[in-house]
Amino acid sequence: MKLGSEGYSPGLLKKIEYAGGNGRSFESAAQSLERLAEFSISARHVERLTERLGKERARQRDEQAALMKGRKLRSKYKQPPAVAVIMLDAGKARFRRADAGPGAHPPHWRDVKAACLQTYADVNYDRDPQPEPPAAFVDPARVERLCREMERVRGSAAAEENEFGNKEQDKDKDKLKHRKKKKRKTRNRKKSRRRRLVRTVVATTAAVEPFGWLVSAEAMKRKFYAAPKRAVIGDGGNWIDPLGQVHFPDWIAILDFPHLLVHLFAAARLAHVRDTVAAWKLYERMLRDAWGGKVRAVIDTLETQLRRLKSAHANAPDSWRVVELTLAYVECNRQRMDYPRYRQLGLPVSSSLVESLIKQINLRVKGSEQFWNDGGLEAVLQVRAAYLSQDDRADAHHKHRPRGPAAGRNRAKLIKATQ
């Protein structure tokens, strides 16, 4: 049965790890194992085994990062991918102090950083394949929902009842029929678009500097540095660009377009708080300029609005603060907004894959009653990342791992049996 010193076969350990790393909690993992695998185990023991296996994965990951620092890491692949894209983002998880006894003392939030390393089939175009923005970006109701989902429109702007076209929402049923017809017409065209191939995942609670080495090590392992087309996509956060400059300096840097959309939408709402029609027209003009790569036009528009607001509300900086921040955001990221060129190269202009990835991670690590210790969450993240990756790493670890020391109530029995 290839029993290890834990008293469990590799196959059963893999089931325990999968349940512990992918279930909603260790308690639900234990219940699933009992019902589906007819194997009785306590939630506490699932936790110990999952964390131990996660720490083993973390040690291997850290060893590879150390090799990357020493320029000794090599890829096992002979051929590089045609298109390699790294998407970066961060979520949140709640922590507790480990030495404070039972309960969450004191609870606090910390970042969980994630990287989605995605390969694509190569696609080339003679010109921009989509010169017009997607219908979702110029639909008032859908833009409003998108902004709410991304939780970026807050404060006084969110308090205003500017839904940008509540009347248009009544037409959604008619629009749905139209969209279904449009999908049929564009089905053949969509077949020629870029095709996603293999995704791997890096996730950690570590700071930006070690996270950068973890991502670069994963990129080296997958031979991303030798890919003809290489891109890094982020939301413009102040930690993403420095990471890219250190580890991916010659890659194409792309600003995630939906995040830009949310900033433009917020600025337009604050520029015309009491006139939803004017606000929407301003947003749509800036959106179309941004989609077309006309960054200078977007900046000019924002500067004009900022001057107008400052003149009209000189003593009320809150009236124009969002517009000022949006202008700074666009100016800071202007070198990463050449969207027609990116589309012509067959590159994505959205980091939606990593945002979706963070939601998948959150299903395990973020709940109303979940408060983590540092080491415990880091270990579970490695298990979750392994099973979210689309290569063989989740199963390969169990094929090659050395057997660890016993854990839990089986320890004494196993020691006695080997004497």
- Please confirm whether the linkage preceding 106 is cis (ω < 30° from 0): yes
Task: With a cut of 60, say whether residue 22 has pLDDT above it.
Answer: yes
Q: What is the pLDDT of residue 413?
A: 46
pLDDT for the residue numbered 228 = 97
Structural domain spans, the chain? 10-120+195-254+351-406, 135-192+257-344
Q: What is the pLDDT of residue 168?
A: 39
In terms of DSSP bridges, do strands 252-255 and 108-120 run parallel, antiparallel, or are they unpaired? unpaired
* Per-residue model confidence (pLDDT) at position 371: 85
pLDDT of residue 6: 63
> What is the chain's mean pLDDT, rounded?
85
Residue 161 has pLDDT above 70, yes or no: no
Whole-number pLDDT of residue 316:
82
pLDDT in tens, 39-72: 999 999 999 999 999 999 999 999 999 999 999 9
User: Parallel, antiparallel, or unpaired for β 229-234 and 252-255?
Assistant: parallel
What is the pLDDT averaged over residues 342-362?
94
At 225 the pLDDT is 97
Average pLDDT over residues 184-207: 74
Predicted structure pTM score:
0.84
Rounded to whole angstroms, how far apart are CA atoms 15 and 312? 65
pLDDT at 100: 65
pLDDT of residue 101: 65
- In 186-244, DSSP assigns E strands to 196-204, 229-234
User: How sure is the predictor about 405, in pLDDT bands with cuts at 50, 70 and 90?
Assistant: low
Q: What is the pLDDT of residue 10?
A: 85
Long-range contacts of 301-308 (CB under 8 A, 24+ apart): 302/267, 302/326, 302/327, 302/330, 303/327, 305/267, 305/271, 308/271
- Among the listed ranges 8-17, 154-163, 181-190, 229-238, which one has the minimum average pLDDT value? 154-163
Q: Find out whether 47 and 410 touch, Cβ atoms under 8 Å.
A: no
What is the rounded average pLDDT of the residues 225-248? 95
Per-residue pLDDT at 159:
33
Lowest average pLDDT, out of 5-19, 297-311, 381-395, goes to 5-19
pLDDT value for 367: 77
Q: What is the mean pLDDT of residues 262-282?
A: 95
- pLDDT band of residue 400 (cuts 50, 70, 90) is confident
pLDDT > 80? residue 236: yes
